[in-house]
Structure 1
Amino acid sequence: MTLTYHAGGDGIDDDCPIEQVRLTVLPTNDPSLPALTFRTWVLGVASCVILSFTNQFFGYRTNQLSISAVSAQIVTLPLGRLMAATLPSRPIQVPFTDWTFSLNPGPFNLKEHVLITIFANSGSSGVYAVHIVTIVKAFYHRSINIIAAFMLSQTTQMLGYGWAGLFRQYLVDSPYMWWPSNLVQVSLFRALHEQEKRSKGGFTRLQFFIVVFISSFAYYLVPGYLFQRIAYLSVVCWIWTKSITAQQLGSGYYGLGLGAFTLDWSTSTSFLGSPLAYPGSSILNILAGFSLIVYVALPILYWSNVYDAKRFPIISSNTFDSSGQTYNISRILNAETFDIDMEAYNGYSKLYLSVFFAIVYGLSFAALASTLSHVALFHGKTIWQMWKKTAGGGHLRDVHTRLMKQNYEAVPQWWFHTILIIVFGLALWVCEGFGKKLQLPWWGLLLACGIALLFTLPIGIITATTNISPGLNVITELVIGFMYPGKPLANVAFKTYGYISMVQALAFLGDFKLGHYMKIPPKSMFLVQLIGTILASSVYFGTAWWLVTSIDHICDPSQLPDGSPWTCPGDHVFYSASIIWGVVGPLRMFGKLGVYSQMNWFFLIGLLVPVPVWYLLRRFPDKKWIQHINMPIIIGSTQGMPPGRVLNYTTWGVVGIFFNFYVYKRFKGWWSRYNYVLSAALDAGVAFMAVILYFAFQSIQVLGPQWWGLADDDQCTLAGCPTAPGVKVEGCPVIG
């Protein structure tokens, strides 16, 4: 979409150009409300610490648990009001200074609640670098200095502050960078805090939230515990119970999902998030790309047997050998050096992927390349104009930016630059010091930072306008794998510094935009984000270090006692990636020594595909629908598959189209009042029931009544079978 901005004669437009924002965010501010209060610190720090500890502690267990910030957002509201009702209000003087503060500066207000939620966001988002610490100690059984491990966790999380500071004026101040997912939070805050008069026969937003929350909470007991099978209902498999092809077509879990559906909200949102939070154009772009890839390209490629596709499942994220069996990494790994044993590799097999997984890799290459060209073509002029206006002291503004500039001091740019310099220096120390246990040289860190810097703005623009964020994990693994093969720890360290620093930058900027909408003082936002990140990183690391050093054989199911929950499923995936990309390496997958070297053409394809759309828009500027075609989103639509399933996408799309097209156009008043509140309430109900089910039953292995409906798959196990003649896989019939 090409961005243009029409301002009044004074350069200020009091009307936000995005309709969804106008319908959701109040164009007002009360700067007299206190924000960074004693209540904010107590409840914010407590939320951050509790969520950090809980999510990391249970992240190592077989039945993982992740508590989202929305849980803290709801719980802290009554706690804040309780503190406002009970704490003394007299001022307290800080010893040896003239500063005073109050434990109770008045009623618990919206701005305090927003900052507490930002604290909670820091605690709920995870620390990616902890995976490195875990695989070093629990999988590779090597030592790592505790200071180096701690600083690794801190620097990978903090480096993103530098990128956030560099691009804040483009991704926060611009009214066109509207961060759609924030509108769900804005609606929930308004529902929880605004006093409304109920209309006759209707609900206030808070009443509506409570009704939907209770309904969602109660209902999730069914798909979450009692009748898990209704999460994946694949009718075709019930009819053709012995046909591999029919199950490949009909399985919503293992196949193409024709005729499959779900009765579970969490299934619809588990990989793409709530469809109610997406712009309608983003939903159409995703569904267009998804349909072309899954229902056109995949059947052609699979049944044409491209890349020996029929030897492997039609959709799978596993790696395979030439006989169709799961690839046995231990056969080619030198246990002493953690490098590839070339003699064993040459005597075993090249590494194979399902044809769908191979195409997803190629499309991820294309999506990143198209992101650069799309942003250059469609947004380059506007970015240049914004840079010139900023350099000259002016800004493109809407009412929200104007109110923020009028009422509050901006965060000085040197704060971000200082953090960037300090954190980069510490990261360099971690990589080059401590015996170079991370294997990543100084030039690798520089290159990782360069990739993050290059992609933060273009991916930030895509995220801020579509609610979809292309990832850098594949490209970072690919680059370091080609340049520095045979170094698994260097591979994961490079990926973390390059990929996660960008993810953190976008998280910081997204929270800044939330504070922008809610009119939070920028310096208070910065301080809360900074301390929340440091605190969360410390708690995540401390919890992980404690567990991996105190639980014998953690993450090794073959050595753990029967029934032990400490199996670390997420870390196994991370470990496998370090072997595949760091030991086998992309040269033996996507290079001349691998099966999938043709996938590299996708870089060129991705770079070129936005050009025809850009040309059509210039040629036919009156055709408004053209400006909504977003090639990076179309190409990268299946980036969550696998592990995302077809059914996760189809039901997400159906719900999204219903609410963001039909309801939005026919019942705009209802949509503007309740749509985002509905999204928050459904998510919150599922989250709270999931927590209760985990602690009350699943954590102690009370898994519910044993019956047909308890299984969490769709009875389409044949959909994962090969169809090539003579391939023998356990549980599958052999095709003659």
Structure 2
Amino acid sequence: MAGPDAGNMTSDKLQPDTPATKSELELNDSPIEQVRLTVSTTDDPTLPALTFRTWVLGLISCATLAFLNQFFGYRQNALYVSSVSAQIAVLPIGRLMAATLPTKPIRVPMTRWTVVLNPGPFNLKEHVLITIFANSGSNSVYAVGIITIVKAFYRRKLNPLAAMLLTQTTQMLGYGWAGLFRKYLVDSPYMWWPSNLVQVSLFRALHEVEMRPKGGQTRLQFFLMVLITSFAYYIIPNYLFPSITALSFICWIWKDSITAQQIGSGLHGLGIGSFGFDWSTVAGFLGSPLATPAFAIVNIMVGFFFYAYVLIPFAYWTNLFEAKRFPIFSSHGFDANGQTYNTSRVLDEKNFKFDSQGYESYSKIHLSIFFVFAYGLNFATLTATLSHVALFHGRTILQLWRQTMTTARDQVSDIHTRLMKKNYEVVPQWWFYAILISMIALATLACQGFDKQLQLPLWGIFLACALALFFTLPIGIITATTNQQPGLNVITELVIGYLYPGRPLANVVFKTYGYISMTQAIMFLGDFKLGHYMKIPPKSMFVVQLVGTVVASSVYFGTTWWLLTTVDHICDPANLPEGSPWTCPGDDVFYNASIIWGLVGPLRMFGRLGIYPKMNYFFLIGLLAPVPVWLMAQAFPGRDWIRLINMPIIFGATSGMPPTRAVNFLAWGTVGLFFNVYVYRRFKGWWARHNYILSAGLDAGVAFMGILTYFALQVQDINGMKWWGLDLDDHCPLAHCPTAKGIVVDGCPTVQ
């Protein structure tokens, strides 16, 4: 999101202020330049926040976004509708309610209570809380993937109450961890949460009275211009010319070469020469590059280039792990003959467990070389995160902990923290603990009751909670300073896969409790920081987050159950009618992970019985990698660029591949470096006023046009005239083919 100084701020200066280091600027504002440029230092504590308008518009936004995102999530062309869409849409509605609703209090019948429908003009704090409601609806519910693979892929029954409890408890557990770490990740001015500044900029543009500069535009005018332009343009990649989302020129030149298409395909290969002219290609998987600090973008692109253009080509073309027998890029498992792995041959259908005899008579499970090293780099990311945080931020964490234990006043504060403490009551800690204890009890009921359909034993629940608790702080620090969030999905799969092998549901349930409760905690903390910047009463924030999470989880679950029980052959492309969109691409990856880690298990994948035990060295590599960077930083304290080297980000850059593709990285990095390096340095004034507004306008235009196109045309199966560019593909049909001699795969030439 910013120039080189941003990295220095988040690494070199992540220390509590002392009299010797405090500057007058940091006393009166924030030590982070991007925050100083974006966030207001004023507050009006008299503005009403949790009003009737907040409840009505917030609940509608939450439920609507939850329904749309889950509905579209099952489709081949998935569409993500962000909370920015609701943030914009509710503004005129809120102002209309302020102009038309009665201002006099209304008595509730048979009570002494009164309700104020209209406390005055629609204000900024109401708008922020409505957006927090919308955030709850726009964030996916990971647990519904378990319900989907059970009913649609494994085709087994699942008690709906058990499924509902699973959905709610996995989303709500994070409140406990969030309560424990608020002091470190919200109150500290050095935990600045870059992505929140997009929202802050948009709120200010929508609400602040701003004089139009001579010959220029107000921020609101600029936002509307970007919104209209993005909205109008998105009809091209979304409907008229979908192939523009990934243009792979090398494939068009060498139409009959498998190797050339592996190199050139942006969707199924290395993506050299591939690019996309679609904002969803740029921001769909990696988030908006405009909201990511420049030093993080550089680290991510270094990681991607090393992975995609050094490690993978070397491993594939030296035939490491017999890589040439399989596609170079795929998330599926394969047997020794290069065919898609037949799960039914290794699954005991009666007991829903691993069939060792069937496995021995069939084949070990093989992965594409991309997928193999994606797991290896996930291992490295995990240990590198711990090492990096301990080396670079350990002293700060220890100091903050000592301050907490001695109940001393927090010495690390900026103007925003002081305003919040002066004007508002904090959320009592016992609120968080009460939710944590009750959610653990309900999680126990979900897993131990209902004939133990979810397979996870009691000790598994507590172990998953322990992992989430342990990792929330270090991963929260990475997220709050870099806008990148390493996940626990792989380590949780690995742990339960070794301890409780052969049970696919136990594996994914454990992963969800361990991984998602940590992710939810960080989401709650990020929202708290947004409220911190916008000066929202913390108790109102807590109530909105809590209610929004319950409502969103319920709608996600209800939509999932409805579609799974009403759409014939959903998630089964082989039996779906021709042209049916219900192919569930995201759940297909989730299903394959359940096979790799849960059914077959890590012992037969990455252990002594598997093909890939060497991947375990990545744990050691990740643990040691930050050490030389830290030593260099100590040896050369004046070389600020050294501290910008972030090994967790470098290792974790490609952890989302697949389903993230090479074309996404190339487009994302190009746009991000242009705006957050070149524009930031040359036109800092323009960047400060317009960068985040540009990001929000692009997101909103894509979302609005996507919804309009679907409900106006695509729902009626009106998909435009058929031509070459109508396919959502980069036209590299050979990129998924193997290159080993004698391997026969449908649609691929056999290499002799």
TM range (shorter): over 0.9
**Which of the residues 603, 626, 643 maps onto 1:587?**
603
Aligned match for 2:492, one of 476, 497, 520: 476
Pairwise mapping of residues 351-366 of structure 1 onto structure 2 (< 5 A)?
Answer: 351-366=365-380
Closer, same or farther in 2 for the Cα pair 1:381/1:294, shift >3 Å?
A: same
Aligned partner of 1:267 in structure 2 is 281
Distance (whole Å) between structure 1 residues aligned to residue 428 and residue 126 of structure 2: 22
Which residue pairs with 1:385 in the alignment? Answer: 399
1:334 paired residue among 329, 348, 358: 348
Q: How does 1:154-173 map to 2 (within 5 A)?
A: 154-173=168-187
Report the residue type matching 1:426 in the other structure.
Answer: L
1:224–1:158 distance in 2 versus 1, CA, 3 Å: same
CA 1:63 to 1:356, structure 2 compared with 1: closer, same or farther past 3 Å? closer
Report the 3-state secondary structure (helix = DSSP H, G, I; strand = E; otherwise coil) of the residue aligned with 1:316: coil
Distance in 2 (alpha carbons) for counterparts of 1:455 and 1:297: 28
Partner amino acid, structure 1, of 2:663: L
Matched letter for residue 295 of structure 1? Y
Cα deviation code 1:552-610 (max 9, x no counterpart): 55444555556555444433333332223211111111111110011111111111111
Aligned residues, how many?
736
Q: d(CA) in 2 for partners of 1:99 and 1:342?
A: 66
Aligned to 1:23: 37
Residues 58/518 of structure 1: CA separation in 2 closer, same or farther (3 Å cut): same
Matched, 1:628 2:644: yes
> How do 1:177-576 residues align onto structure 2 when only pairs under 5 Å count?
177-391=191-405, 392-395=407-410, 396-551=412-567, 553-557=569-573, 565-576=581-592
Between 132-141 and 352-361, report the one with greater CA deviation: 132-141
Where 1:195 maps in the other structure, the secondary structure is coil
Q: Is the counterpart of residue 719 in structure 1 residue 730 in structure 2?
A: no
Deviation at 1:345, TM superposition (A): 1.6
Q: State how far apart, in whole Å, the 2-side matches of 1:325 and 1:121 are.
A: 41
Say if 1:338 and 1:583, in contact at 8 Å, map to a contact too: no
The 8 Å contact of residues 381 and 622 in structure 2, kept in 1 or not, is answered as: yes
Superimposed CA distance per residue, residues 674-707 of structure 1 (whole angstroms, 9 cap, x where no aligned partner): 0000011011111111111111222222222101
Letter in 1 for 2:302: A
Aligned residue type for 2:453: K
Aligned to 1:688: 704
Cα distance in 2 for residues equivalent to 1:9 and 1:30 = 33
Corresponding residue SS for 1:238: helix
The 3 A distance-change label for structure 1 pair 529 and 235 is: same
CA contact (8 A) 2:332 2:589 kept: no
* Identical positions, percent: 67
Q: 1:731 to 1:473 in 2, by over 3 A?
A: same
State which of 44, 49, 68 in structure 1 corresponds to 2:82: 68
Secondary structure of 2:106's match?
A: strand
Q: Structure 1: which amino acid aligns with 2:399?
A: Q
Contact 1:400 1:516 in 2 (8 A): yes
In the alignment, the residues of structure 2 paired with residue 686 and residue 235 of structure 1 have an alpha-carbon distance, to the nearest angstrom, of 25
Structure 1 counterpart of 2:159: 145
8 Å contact 2:264–2:270 — kept in the other structure? yes
Q: Deviations over 1:172-199 (max 9, x none)?
A: 1111111111111111111111111111
| 8 Å CA contact 1:171, 1:177 repeated in 2 | yes
Q: CA deviation at 1:138?
A: 3.6
The structural deviation recorded for 1:550 is 4.5
CA contact (8 A) 2:331 2:592 kept: no
Contact 1:63 1:699 in 2 (8 A): no
1:572/1:283 CA distance change after superposition, 3 Å: closer
1:652 CA drift (Å):
0.8
Q: Contact 2:263 / 2:272 at 8 angstroms: preserved in 1?
A: yes
Q: Tell me if 1:578 matches 2:589.
A: no
Paired amino acid for 2:331? S
Q: State the partner residue of 1:703.
A: 719
Question: C-alpha distance in 1, partners of 2:16/2:493?
Answer: 39
User: Structure 1 residues 25 and 234 mapped into 2: Cα distance closer, same or farther (>3 Å)?
Assistant: same
| Structure 2 counterpart of 1:648, from 642, 660, 664 | 664
Q: CA RMSD in A?
A: 1.8
Of 383-392 and 502-511, more deviation after overlay is shown by: 383-392
Task: Report the more deviating stretch, 127-136 or 110-119.
Answer: 127-136
1:89 corresponds to: 103
The AA in structure 1 aligned to 2:395 is K
Give 2:623's aligned residue. Answer: 607
- 709-718 vs 143-152, which deviates more? 143-152
Q: Is the 8 A contact 1:367 1:633 kept in 2?
A: yes
**Structure 1, 48-57 or 359-368: larger mean CA deviation:** 48-57
Distance 1:502 1:84 in 2: 39
Alignment partners' CA distance in 1, 2:258 and 2:584 = 32
In structure 2, distance between residues paired with 1:292 and 1:561: 42
What do the CA deviations read for 1:617-642 (whole angstroms, capped 9, x no partner)? 11111111111111100111111111
How far apart, in 1, do the equivalents of 2:45 and 2:618 lie? 51
Taking structure 1 as reference, are residues 410 and 285 closer, same or farther at Cα in structure 2, changes over 3 Å only? same
Offset at 1:333? 2.0
What SS does the corresponding residue of 2:555 show, helix, strand or coil? Answer: helix
Structure 1 residue aligned with 2:686: 670
Q: Which is worse superposed, 443-452 or 142-151? A: 142-151
C-alpha deviation, 1:713, in angstroms: 1.6
Amino acid at match of 1:432: Q
Gaps of 5+ in 2: 1-10
Question: What CA distance in whole angstroms lies between the structure 2 residues aligned with 1:561 and 1:363?
Answer: 39
Spell out, residue by residue over 1:294-322, the C-alpha distance to the aligned partner (whole angstroms, 9 max, x if none): 11111111111111111122222221111
What CA deviation, in whole Å up to 9, does each residue of 1:39-98 have, x standing for no partner? Answer: 000100111122222333343444444322111111100100000000010123456766
Give the Cα separation in 2 of the matches to 1:551 and 1:600. 42
User: What's the CA shift for 1:487?
Assistant: 0.9
Segments of 5+ residues of structure 1 without an aligned counterpart are none
Mapped contact 1:327–1:351 kept (Cα < 8 A):
yes
State the 1:389 CA deviation.
Answer: 2.1
Between the aligned partners of 1:609 and 1:7, the Cα distance in structure 2 is: 31
C-alpha displacement at 1:549, in angstroms?
A: 3.8
Cα 1:141/1:504, change in 2 over 3 Å: same
Query: Does the 8 Å contact 1:13/1:398 carry over to 2?
Result: yes
TM-score by length of 2: 0.95
Distance across 2 between alignment mates of 1:264 and 1:58: 18
CA distance in 2, matches of 1:450, 1:369: 17
Task: Output the TM-score relative to the length of structure 1.
Answer: 0.97
**Equivalent of residue 616 in structure 1, options 632, 635, 646:** 632
Q: CA–CA distance in 2 between the matches of 1:557 and 1:230?
A: 24
Cα offset, 1:724, TM superposition? 1.6
Kept in 1: contact 2:193–2:483 (CA 8 A): yes
Q: Is the 8 A contact 1:6 1:13 kept in 2?
A: no
Tell me which moved more, 322-331 or 561-570.
561-570
Q: What is the CA–CA distance in structure 1 between the aligned matches of 2:84 and 2:231, rounded to whole Å? A: 14
**Offset at 1:665?**
0.8
Greater alpha carbon shift after TM alignment, 428-437 vs 630-639: 428-437
Q: Confirm or deny: 8 A CA contact 2:334 2:367 kept in the other structure.
A: yes
